[in-house]
């Protein structure tokens, strides 16, 4: 089968990140890194299963909803920059245009989540297969349509005959990102322990010591970097597949 390979897409993604880093880094910092840091600071050490229970629900929702919306706008803005959509616009104009696409992107993501969840109920692989087939929704909403259902249909069409291949590519990325995350989080935790000891022990409840700040900053930067790489890879996949005829099957 002709078409892109994992290596060619990865090389193109890295090249595009280098080319547009002056625009990408501040957008990623504002819409991916900072919201995650604020959410971690707001929620603190509260277990995930207690985020929306009892009196915690209101305070979690106050920040959780804006964080989700900021992430969506960030993904849309970063994808637009990487695809060259609205070339010549300022960053603020690109962000403003992307904000208008947040609602259809959110709707499409919810449909994706339902498809992914249904696939997981069958077996794990069908869930990831569906995720791969619908991976081009955000680039499509940025460049072709604001209709979430249309974006899902087009993504399914563009990946037709390549579903297993696309699934394998994203599985490779996720595995690599997981290994990097384990290594970086381990390093951040080690720095945190050393810093806590240097500060004389555990910080007061509700206050982050230097060690905790190091851990959260490294974790937030890692998460934003991984998300940016994933967005760049997806943008290059979309760019490659839209120029090819979808094979039968």
Torsion sign, CA atoms 57, 60, 61, 65: negative
Place of tokens 């909403």: 141
Tell me the residue length of the chain. 249
Which of these, 220, 234, 170, 176, lies nearest to 17 by C-alpha position? 234
The pLDDT tens digits of the residues spanning 9-37 come to 999 999 999 998 888 999 999 999 998 88
| CB atoms inside a 10 Å sphere around CB 234 | 24
Tell me, what DSSP letter sits at residue 29? Answer: I
The pLDDT tens digits of the residues spanning 135-184 come to 999 999 999 888 999 999 999 999 998 889 999 999 999 999 999 988 88
Q: When comparing pLDDT for 39 and 1, which is higher? A: 39
Q: Compute the distance between CA of residue 63 and CA of residue 58 in angstroms, rounded to an integer.
A: 9
Q: Compute the distance between CA of residue 33 and CA of residue 128 in angstroms, rounded to an integer.
A: 26
* Model pTM score: 0.85
| H-type alpha helices, the chain | 6-19, 21-28, 34-43, 56-83, 91-99, 102-122, 124-133, 137-143, 148-158, 163-199, 210-241
């Amino acid at each position: 089968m002709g078409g892109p390979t994992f290596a060619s897409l990865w090389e193109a993604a890295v090249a595009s990140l280098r080319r547009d880093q002056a625009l990408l880094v501040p957008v990623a910092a504002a819409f991916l890194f900072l919201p995650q840091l604020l959410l971690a600071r707001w929620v603190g050490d509260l277990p995930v299963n207690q985020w929306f229970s009892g009196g915690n629900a209101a305070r979690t929702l106050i920040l959780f909803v804006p964080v989700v919306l900021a992430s969506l706008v960030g993904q849309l803005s970063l994808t637009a920059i990487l695809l060259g959509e609205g070339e010549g616009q300022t960053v603020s104009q690109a962000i403003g245009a992307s904000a208008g696409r947040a609602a259809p992107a959110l709707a499409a993501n919810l449909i994706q989540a339902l498809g992914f969840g249904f696939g997981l109920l069958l077996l794990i692989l069908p869930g990831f297969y569906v995720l791969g087939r619908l991976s081009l929704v955000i680039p499509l909403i940025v460049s072709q349509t604001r209709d979430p259902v249309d974006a899902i249909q087009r993504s399914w069409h563009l990946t037709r005959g390549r579903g297993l291949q696309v699934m394998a590519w994203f599985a490779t990325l996720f595995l690599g990102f997981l290994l990097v995350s384990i290594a970086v989080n381990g390093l951040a935790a080690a720095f945190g322990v050393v810093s806590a000891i240097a500060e004389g022990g555990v910080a007061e409840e509700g206050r982050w010591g230097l060690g905790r700040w190091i851990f959260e900053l490294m974790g937030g930067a890692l998460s934003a970097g991984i998300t940016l790489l994933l967005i760049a890879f997806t943008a290059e996949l979309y760019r490659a597949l839209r120029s090819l005829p979808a094979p039968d099957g």
